[in-house]
Amino acid sequence: MATINFGGVDETVVTREEFPLSKALDVLKDEVIAVIGYGVQGPGQALNMKDNGFNVIVGQRKDSPSWEKALEDGWVEGETLFSIEEAAERGTIIANLLSDAGQIALWPTIKERLKPGKTLYFSHGFGITFKEQTSIVPPADVDVILVAPKGSGTSLRRLFVSGGGLNSSFAVFQDASGKAYEKAVAMGIGVGSGYLFETDFKKEVYSDLTGERGVLMGALAGIIEAQYQVLRERGHSPSEAFNETVEELTQSLVPLVAENGMDWMYANCSVTAQRGALDWKGKFKDATLPVLNELYDSVESGKEAERTIQRGSTPGYRKELEAELKELRDSELWQTGATVRKLRSKAK
């Protein structure tokens, strides 16, 4: 454990120096980690833990696309790849990495196999926090822990393979064994976290839902569409509007902010850009603060969870989703983006 100062606030974090992989392996040496679900987070976490030397098996519905992906990734049917039911039966740590809707639908199956002394692991606090809507209430004689990588499973795997790590939060909801905290940290190291910071299930899901709907995806997509529209309506070409809105952001500025911080990026651009950014950022902050507070209130009240569950459980949701994504994909903005990416790849 290390105390690190983040912007003037001391926080306790866990790094791989204080809690090395060797210690994580020792903590979990007698555990069979059953990764249930091989969709978004499952592949990255399962493969990273396997490569790190943990005893990992995968549970997935047979003959599904995810089952085929698991086979392609090297999991062997009957040895390390099983049905969800059998994997949950075999596992001493059940890593429930199904979608939120999948967790609700399969909770009776998972709960039935949560024998005393087992550990239930999540990477999202949704099911536990909104138990009134999900009915996910673990038995009292199991540990319930969480490790939430701050990014996609694809990024988690890519950074791990390149020798890096994605930062993760971790939490303990229920400590039946007296060892849940240590297990959570060991799992966090095992999946390839850069460093770990402690949270709780409620804070994890509140921040996650706000972030996804806000800066990370919803707000980002919305402001991109708005700026692109303004430039096009003012006579700029699709290529110019896209490059000034998306390409420069993703290919140049965001990587610089990630590497050096916003202040460094400001200091290393033209005076015109510096003044424009500094003079206008306050207006955007003032404009979006009410929206973000409204968003957080909606998350905290459970309305976002209710909407997610209702939409996700609708029989025709997949078709509706594809129609929405097709509208995005076919828009001038993102058709221009596809062309720009092709031209970028040809230049390499």
Domains of the chain with CATH codes = 2-199 (3.40.50.720), 214-347 (1.10.1040.10)
Q: What is the pLDDT of residue 347?
A: 65
Region 28-34: mean pLDDT is 98
The DSSP secondary-structure symbol of 165 reads -
> Would you please indicate which residues are annotated as catalytic (active-site) residues?
124
The tokens of 242 are what? 């896209």
Give the three-state DSSP class for 57: strand
pLDDT band per the 50, 70, 90 thresholds, residue 278: very high
End-to-end CA distance of the chain: 43
Q: Strand ranges (DSSP E) for the chain?
A: 2-6, 9-15, 33-36, 56-59, 81-82, 93-96, 119-122, 143-149, 166-174, 193-198
CA atoms within 13 A on the CB side of 301: 9
What is the per-residue pLDDT across 32-90, written as a single tens digit (0 to 9) for each? 999 999 998 999 999 999 999 999 999 999 989 999 999 999 999 999 999 999 999 99
pLDDT band per the 50, 70, 90 thresholds, residue 8: confident
Region 229-245: mean pLDDT is 96
pLDDT band per the 50, 70, 90 thresholds, residue 101: confident
Distance CA 105, CA 300 (A): 23
Region 91-116: mean pLDDT is 95
What is the per-residue pLDDT across 301-334, written as a single tens digit (0 to 9) for each? 999 999 999 888 888 898 999 999 999 999 999 9
pTM equals 0.90
Residue 280 has pLDDT above 90, yes or no: yes
pLDDT band per the 50, 70, 90 thresholds, residue 348: low
Distance CA 275, CA 252 (A): 19
